[in-house]
Amino acid sequence: MSRTLILAFHPDINRSRANRAMLEAAATMNGVEAVDMQALYPDGRIDADAEVHRLLNVDRIVLQFPVQWYSPPALMKQWMDDVFTRMYYVRHTEEGQLLEGTPLMVAATAGNVVEAYGPDGVNLFPLEELLRPLESTAHRCKLPYATPFLVYRANKLDAHEQLALGVAYRKHLQTWMGQTAPE
């Protein structure tokens, strides 16, 4: 069975509406491992050995997070610094090369409405553009970059919208997983 790994980098998943709904919905799927990284690393100290092992034993990776000041949360940046730097600069042959070809998808939430993300909006740029550094990282690491799953108004979703979001996320993941299944 192919495996999809979702690494959720929300600073407080219990207070989240969107990220919690997404993570709970995805965790019920066959072949999906969903990890609350903040719960795993509350002090920010990443176990690079464990993370490399986790990455090298999956078929697909999802980085899930709320956009905070136009970027991922600090823990995700720390994780990337510790894990990807090791895999691609320190141990490229024995680790990084083994991860190459593993599809990567970003699932990001934003608190504002979609109209706020554009040349006439308060945030000036589309959310996809704000996520370009992650696309560049995927390219550099030779991880095929999937179209991001983006959620707006994340902190304003009511209970019905949260359920609908969970359904939409599951459907998106199922479609993506079907498209990236190993041969």
pLDDT band at 182 (very low <50, low <70, confident <90, very high): very low
Write the CA distances from 63 to 10, 55, 135, 154, integer angstroms.
10, 12, 12, 16
122 Cβ contact list (under 8 Å, min separation 6): 112, 116
| Mean pLDDT value across residues 56-78 | 97
d(CA 133, CA 138): 9
Fold of 4-176: Rossmann fold (3.40.50)
d(CA 60, CA 41): 22
Write phi, then psi, for 150 (nearest 5 degrees).
-115, 140
d(CA 121, CA 100): 37
Token readout for 78 is 């720390």
Q: Is the pLDDT of residue 1 over 50?
A: no
d(CA 179, CA 61): 14
Residue tagged 């550099």 (tokens): 140
Residue tagged 């919905």 (tokens): 25
Instruction: Output the average pLDDT for the chain.
Output: 95
pLDDT band at 180 (very low <50, low <70, confident <90, very high): low
Strand arrangement, sheet containing 149-151: 32-36, 4-8, 60-66, 104-109, 149-151
